[in-house]
Amino acid sequence: MENRTNNFLETQPVGALMRRYAIPCVISLLVAALYNIVDQLFIANAAYLGSHGNAANTVVFPLTVIALAIAVMIGDGCCAFVSICLGSDRREDAHRSVGNAAALCVLSSLLLTAVYLIFDDEILTLFGGRVNAETFACAKEYFFWIALGVPFYMFGQAMNPVIRSDGSPKFAMASTLAGALVNIVLDPLFIFGFRWGMMGAAVATVLGQVLTAALALWYLCRMKSVRLSRASFRPSAAVIGRTLSLGVCSFLSQISLVAAMAAINNMLRQYGAADAVFGQPQYAQIPMAVVGIVMKFFQIVISIAVGMAAGCIPIVGYNVGANRPDRALALLKRLLLCEAAVGAVALGIVELFPRALINLFGAANESAYYTSFAVRSFRVYLSMMMLATVNKAAFIYLQSLGKAFSSTMLSMVREVAFGVGLALLLPRFFALDGVLYSMPVSDILTFAITLIVLRHTVRFLKSGNPRHAM
């Protein structure tokens, strides 16, 4: 029998483990989020692209999230399952999960790329790309190149949590950081130097994703806790089913964001057209561009929240597998306090410095209507970020316990019932402001339900033997 190389997850202090795993995971997710955000920063400050390019970026963004949703479902599910297997010394299931996850990621990414390239016009229209002709042209150009990079993007993102589960969070962070640095260096060269416009932003992004995927592949051939062989890639319905069931919460949290963004983009287009200012053709793209920017800042905050929680998945899974629920409970308490602190700091920034934030995205090149709507959007849309960060942490923590059903249901309620439902309902009463109200109201309602679920989770861990529920 192989040595349990990850047994330090059961013995080292919980706080030290959280720092060791969560910090690299946070950095990895922040860097991944910066791919699209960096593109938008440079696009917004290119006078020849401006708010039309910004709006186009907002249209394409949820389509990259679809790819991310599939990738994290595979990767986070594999990470949780592998950690549980290593904690209970089930090596066979561990290496089969990694091999099946890699193969599944490749196949699904190629299929998604084909769908994107064949149905590009219809997909962009569905996500609000027809707000005006200039925005649609920019979105189509950007989307074509982004679609070609989907297989590399998905593989890098899916293997990142798998690498963390193998006890190498720093390598996972470094591989993502390397790709992002390529994007940051090439974006200004392609956009301002070569004046390649939306194509330049997309190509810079894809080249960074190629590097991250290559580094992930290199690591898979040198894993420490499991050894991959041909048998690892042989499909196993049981292993794939367990992996995907543990990752479905991550998928829903991302894919429901796509549904919410589709609803929001179309509500912005519909009610913006009825607005006295934004109903004018020259200002029609502003609401979509602005809300896209606000959501990018929110994504930065949520990347920190998700990174802290996802970084704890190997620790929680291992300790539950090793029948140490006391350590899993101690980690939950630390995690929720840290998440609330992150939300509080982010809230202070958006309430006190909204103009500084919007100036980063080329506000100096836009009208006063652009700035005033952006300030209101930051302050209203993100007013409940403390609750949002705690909610997200709870979803992921339940996933790491192996409580896939509870995690999935909470995510569905927040992202679909409230996120999509309120985005469609509230604008009927409050017009454009209704779109902004939908986010804080969703977080308040979800938090009330989350508190009830967390209370039951604490009782579950205090029962002394939660492993039987895995």
- pLDDT band, residue 2 (cuts 50/70/90): very low
Q: Quick one: pLDDT band at residue 446, thresholds 50, 70, 90?
A: very high
Mean pLDDT over 392-404 rounds to 83
Residue 186, amino acid:
L
Report residue 335's pLDDT band, with 50, 70 and 90 as the boundaries. very high
Q: Evaluate if residue 19 carries a pLDDT over 90.
A: no
Q: pLDDT band at residue 469, thresholds of 50, 70 and 90? A: very low
418 contacts: CB under 8 Å, gap ≥ 6: 441, 442, 445, 446
- pLDDT value at position 114? 98
Of 466 and 95, the one with more pLDDT = 95
DSSP per-residue letters across 184-240: HHHHHIIIIIS--HHHHHHHHHHHHHHHHHHHHHHHHTT-SS----GGGGS--HHHH
Q: Are 199 and 145 in contact (CB under 8 A)?
A: yes
Q: Torsion angle, CA of 303/60/131/137, rounded to 10 degrees?
A: 140
Measure the CA angle with vertex 81, ends 78 and 86; round to 5°: 120
Using left for φ > 0, alpha for ψ between -120 and 50, and beta otherwise, residue 50 falls in: left
Half-sphere exposure of residue 62, counting CA atoms within 13 Å on the CB side?
27
pLDDT of residue 230: 86
Task: Please tell me the distance from the alpha carbon of residue 68 to that of residue 54, in angstroms, as a whole number.
Answer: 21
Residue with the bigger pLDDT between 292 and 451: it is 451
State yes or no: pLDDT of 297 exceeds 70: yes
Average pLDDT over residues 367-378: 91
Q: What is the mean pLDDT of residues 338-366?
A: 89
Residue 377 in tokens:
């959007």
pLDDT above 70 coverage of the chain, percent: 96
Instruction: Please state the rounded mean pLDDT for residues 178-183.
Output: 92
Strand, coil or helix: what is 85? helix
Half-sphere exposure of 252 (CA within 13 A, CB side): 26
For 216: left if phi > 0, alpha if psi spans -120 to 50, otherwise beta; the answer is: alpha
Is pLDDT above 80 for 365? no
Confidence class of residue 6 from pLDDT cuts 50, 70 and 90?
low
Give the model's confidence band at 36: pLDDT under 50 very low, under 70 low, under 90 confident, else very high. Answer: low
Structure tokens at 34: 């910066």
CA distance 398 to 408: 9
CB atoms within 10 A of CB 51: 27
Predicted pLDDT of residue 465: 61
The pair of three-digit structure tokens given for residue 30, joined into one six-digit string? 């922040």
Give this prediction's pTM. 0.76
pLDDT at 467 over 70: no
Helices (H), ranges, 274-366: 286-311, 313-321, 325-352, 354-359
Query: Does residue 342 contact residue 305 with C-beta atoms inside 8 Å?
Result: yes
CB environment 171-196: b (16+ within 10 A), e (fewer): bbbbbbbebbebbbebbbebbeeeeb
Which residue matches tokens 């699904």? Answer: 108
Percentages helix, strand, coil for the chain (3-state, rounded to 5) are 85, 0, 15
- Among residues 369, 364, 198, the alpha carbon closest in space to that of 282 is found at 369
pLDDT tens readout for residues 100-137 = 999 999 999 999 999 999 999 999 999 888 888 899 99
Q: Counting Cβ atoms within 10 Å, is residue 309 exposed (0-12), middle (13-18) or buried (19+)?
A: buried
| Residue of 401 and 389 predicted with greater confidence | 389
Note the pLDDT of residue 470. 46
How far is the C-alpha of 172 from the C-alpha of 175, rounded, in Å? 5
Average pLDDT, integer, range 246-274: 83
Q: Give the model's pLDDT for residue 1.
A: 36
Q: Which residue has the higher pLDDT, 116 or 28?
A: 116
Cα separation, 284 vs 387, in Å, equals 32
Q: Let me know the angle formed at the C-alpha of 304 by 247 and 350, rounded to the nearest 5 degrees.
A: 130
Structure tokens at 371: 């700035």
- Is pLDDT above 80 for 31? no
| pLDDT recorded at residue 466 | 57
Q: Over the chain, what is the mean pLDDT?
A: 88
Residue ranges per domain, the chain? Answer: 22-469
Q: Count, in order, helices (H) and strands (E) of the chain.
A: 19, 0
Q: How far apart are CA 63 and CA 71, in angstroms?
A: 13
Least confident of 28-32, 398-402, 429-433: 28-32
